[in-house]
Amino acid sequence: MQYVIEVGYKDNILDALGESINKDIHDLGISKVSKIKSVQIYKIDADLNFAQIDDLCCKLLIDPITQEYVVNKTIDAAASEKHFVIEVWFKKGVTDSVADTVITGVKDLGFQPAQITVHTGVKYIVYGKLQAKEAKSIASKLLANTIVQDYFIGTAEKYD
């Protein structure tokens, strides 16, 4: 079964990556961004049940004090605020070392799926009244190394 796990910081915890990217966006001359939220995404395809996936999340993928996770759902953006969602993934054939570590962690936890594949990515929720070309500029200049990564941009209307 395929699981999509999203891991993000709790609302009262500083998202240092998001803050750093927000400063970089302003350095690009794009001043319409009010904040960025970063979310780690894991796509896991394995013959594991939901309880095992929950155990994996709690023991391997999150810091329970600062982070929260959802399985087969999305960490929602504030519906009242205009935003873009930009996802960044490794291209097919590029080594994903975080995915390799997750596979090792699954086995270290004692789970022995017959087959397992993992892909990791990062979702950025970019708040502000941006134009699509500005979102594309942010994605291509700051968020993705287009040699080894692909990015996908969605609008608030698509994700709300």
Quickly list DSSP for 21-85: HHHHHHHTT---EEEEEEEEEEEEEES--HHHHHHHIIIII--TTTEEEEESS--PPPTTS-EEE
Residue 46 burial (C-beta neighbours within 10 Å; 0-12, 13-18, 19+): buried
Task: Quote the pLDDT of residue 83.
Answer: 86
* Nearest residue to 141 via CA among 88, 98, 95: 88
pTM: 0.90
Task: Quote the pLDDT of residue 75.
Answer: 79
Whether 91 and 148 have beta carbons less than 8 Å apart is answered as yes
Distance CA 7, CA 56 (A): 12
**What are the structural domains of the chain?**
2-159 (3.30.1280.10)
Task: Quote the pLDDT of residue 77.
Answer: 65
- pLDDT (tens place) for every residue of the chain, 160 residues total: 999 999 999 989 999 999 999 999 999 999 999 999 999 999 999 999 999 999 999 999 999 999 999 999 987 766 667 889 999 999 999 999 999 999 999 999 999 888 999 999 999 999 998 899 999 999 999 999 999 999 999 875 543 3
Distance CA 147, CA 4 (A): 25
Task: Quote the pLDDT of residue 159.
Answer: 38
Task: Quote the pLDDT of residue 160.
Answer: 34
Whether 91 and 145 have beta carbons less than 8 Å apart is answered as no
Task: Quote the pLDDT of residue 140.
Answer: 96
Which distant-in-sequence residues (6+ apart) come within 8 Å of 31 by Cβ?
none
* H/E element, 88: strand 83-90
Task: Quote the pLDDT of residue 158.
Answer: 43
Task: Quote the pLDDT of residue 80.
Answer: 63
Q: Please, which residues bridge with residue 55 across strands? A: none
